[in-house]
Amino acid sequence: MQDIKELSLKALEDKLLSWGSPKYHARGIFNWIYQKGVNEFSRMSNLPVALRETLAGEFKVTSLHPADTQKSSDGTTKFLFELADKNLVEAVNIPMAKRLPAGKTPARASTITGCISSQVGCKFACSFCASGLKGFKRNLSVGEILDEVLYLKNNVSSGQFTHLVFMGTGEPLDNYDNVLKAIRIINSPDAFNIGARRITISTCGVIPGIKKLAQEDLQVELSISLHAAGDKLRSQLMPVNKKYPLAALIKCCQEYIARTNRQITFEYILIKGVNAEAAAAQDLARLLKDLRLAKVNLIPANSVAESKIFPPDSAQIDFFKRYLLKAGLNVTLRRERGQDINAACGQLRLKYEKSQN
């Protein structure tokens, strides 16, 4: 039986019409599922009883439950979900200090950014990332991606669930169709109503996916995991660079910016002894200097014991940031979140699987 969350609003309307029901009930069904979190058709009390029965005969409404939950002292909460086929995926709620107008005190207000997975495991095997350590299993379905969002939204400890990033396990542009279908539902006013500008797709640099995304009529944020500004080092850290090397990637970014007029954020994990030296900062400044709308987001690496990855000391991080600022780049430094709960990609799954073995 199909999960009803696989259907776009339009597909659901068409289904209802094919049954002789008015299509406006589709919005009502979206509302029950995504806004009220109801997953039994029998409880959708404003739908005709006959329609509820037809729906129940044709569709199921799945939901996720965590096999493990970890809460960090900074409020970051990580959930490990067991899917119907027993595969495991991770998603995280990350509280952010609310951006308030000058003069207003932040009080207790905070917004929550949900971080979700797009695949079980990952094909891309970046050397610093725990997600690829056990290889690739399968794509997540549209319904499974939406189930992650539903769970995160309904399980915030405080604050408002406002932003979403595809920075969990997997490569979103390698599961393009399902991710885009899910985003259109996440975006829908009748479902989660999260604005496209508040949704970030993060990619390791899958050029055909970036090109396709540039053609969509969607204002989503695009992040590129760069992590090195020379082909030799980047290919060592990220094997995807052998297929899509830097010159082609930057050209593709230039075209993306020209077509969409949207900024691209380049994620750069600072790894001690690997890519955090002055020469690396120089390479990075040179690589990005001609991109009209680019931002660099520096992230001190989360330690991954399995891969011997460690962050540089704070003086080196400061130096790196100041170098880029002086070179005229737009730079931010992301605070490490959830360090004490293994919040880096794939880490909770690895730990859980180890404890089960």
Structure tokens at 118: 């797009």
Q: Does 145 bind ligand SAH (CB under 6 A)?
A: no
Q: Does 344 bind ligand SAH (CB under 6 A)?
A: yes
Q: What are phi and psi of 199, to 5 degrees?
A: -115, 125
Please answer whether residues 332 and 296 qualify as being in contact, where contact means their C-beta atoms are separated by less than 8 angstroms.
yes
Q: Is the dihedral of CA 242, 220, 7, 49 positive or negative?
A: positive
Q: Does 213 bind ligand SAH (CB under 6 A)?
A: no
Q: Does 136 bind ligand SAH (CB under 6 A)?
A: no
Choices 64-72, 89-97, 101-109, 296-304; region in contact with ligand SAH by CB under 6 A? 296-304
Q: What count of Cα atoms within 13 Å lies in the side-chain half-sphere of residue 95? A: 16
Nearest distance in Å: CB 167, ligand SAH: 4
Q: Alpha-carbon Rg of the chain, whole angstroms?
A: 21
From 122, 129, 252, 345, the catalytic residue: 345
Query: Would residue 252 show up in a list of annotated catalytic residues for this protein?
Result: no
Binds ligand SAH by CB under 6 A, chosen from 139, 141, 225, 260: 225
Q: Does 345 bind ligand SAH (CB under 6 A)?
A: yes
What does the DSSP 8-state code read for residue 304? B
CA distances for 32 relative to 60, 88, 163, 167, 287, angstroms: 14, 27, 21, 28, 48
Is residue 176 within a helix (H) or strand (E), and if so which, with residue range?
helix 176-187
Choices 39-47, 80-88, 133-141, 301-309; region in contact with ligand SAH by CB under 6 A? 301-309
Choices 62-70, 147-155, 282-290, 294-302; region in contact with ligand SAH by CB under 6 A? 294-302
- Label residue 267 left, alpha or beta by phi (over 0 means left) and psi (-120 to 50 means alpha): beta
Measured between alpha carbons, how far is 172 from 52 in angstroms, rounded to an integer?
A: 34
CB closer to ligand SAH out of 13 and 267: 267
Choices 66-74, 95-103, 189-197, 295-303; region in contact with ligand SAH by CB under 6 A? 295-303
- Residues of this chain, 259-278, that bind ligand SAH according to CB under 6 A: 267, 269
Q: Does 140 bind ligand SAH (CB under 6 A)?
A: no
Measured between alpha carbons, how far is 94 from 112 in angstroms, rounded to an integer?
A: 6
The single-letter code of the amino acid at 49 is V
From 13, 90, 148, 267, the catalytic residue: 90
Q: Does 199 bind ligand SAH (CB under 6 A)?
A: no
Query: Would residue 345 show up in a list of annotated catalytic residues for this protein?
Result: yes
Structure tokens at 96: 């952010």
Q: Does 301 bind ligand SAH (CB under 6 A)?
A: yes
Nearest distance in Å: CB 165, ligand SAH: 8
Q: Does 128 bind ligand SAH (CB under 6 A)?
A: yes
Catalytic residue numbers?
90, 345
